Amino acid sequence: MTVVLELQSALRSELKDPFGPVSTDTAAVLDAAGDPLVAVGDIVTYHILDAGRVPDLAFVDERTERAAVDDEVSAGIEDDRFDRVRAIDNPPGTLTAALLSALDDALASGERTLVRVDGEEDLAALPAIAAAPDGASVCYGQPGEGVVHVTVDTDTRERVVDLLGRMDGDSARAFAALGLDAD
């Protein structure tokens, strides 16, 4: 496993503010959602599936707020609802080459993809926002508040690319893996 980027503690505070509006109404989020729809996190993915939509790409790790998800959530995220399932390793606070590759491949394939992460998927929202096309939706959980719905646009992408560029590691490799020009 190759760690490409690691979130240092000095940047953690920048992730406290959501990159989009926070909602507890999944139906309203889905009504406003663009394509593709990327879900990051077990609870978010579960609620999207429960509302009748299969995300184009979902990242799950069987955990929520550092605890195991309950059986209902785990059972509700069924592999057979997706066209493809990938399993990757991604330690907490990092973005690995495997996660970046799975993201890029899923967005390019057009097939609904579930990525099962051994470790932690929390930071997957950042490269998803950076790599998804304008108008796409990236949804992730805001602990204790609800789901954040990010409609990808130039401003949000630039904010995320800046943050990724300041993480420890090889940002040039991360940007290349995502097909981004960091300049």
Mean of the per-residue pLDDT values of the chain: 94
Q: Is residue 35 part of a domain?
A: yes
**How many domains are there within the chain?**
1
44 marked among binding-site residues: yes
Residue 28's region, left for phi above 0, alpha for psi from -120 to 50, else beta, is alpha
What tens digit of pLDDT does each residue of 60-112 get? 998 887 778 888 999 999 999 999 999 999 999 999 999 999 999 999 999 99
6 marked among binding-site residues: no
89 marked among binding-site residues: no
Give CB contacts under 8 A, 24+ apart, made by 9-14.
Answer: 11/163, 11/166, 11/167, 14/163
138 marked among binding-site residues: no
Q: Read off the pTM.
A: 0.95
Q: Is residue 182 part of a domain?
A: no
Cβ 21 vs Cβ 149: under 8 Å: yes
Mean pLDDT, rounded, for 123-152: 96
Mean pLDDT, rounded, for 129-152: 96
Q: Distances from the Cα of 24 to the Cαs of 3, 74, 101, 158, in angstroms?
A: 33, 20, 31, 27
| Burial class (CB within 10 angstroms; exposed 0-12, middle 13-18, buried 19+) of 87 | exposed
Percent residues over pLDDT 90 in the chain: 86
| pLDDT higher at 34 or 143 | 34
Range of the domain at 73: 3-15+22-177
Q: Is residue 142 part of a domain?
A: yes
What tens digit of pLDDT does each residue of 53-73 get? 999 999 999 888 777 888 899
Q: Distances from the Cα of 172 to the Cαs of 60, 153, 161, 165, in angstroms?
A: 26, 21, 11, 8
Q: Is residue 183 part of a domain?
A: no
42 marked among binding-site residues: yes
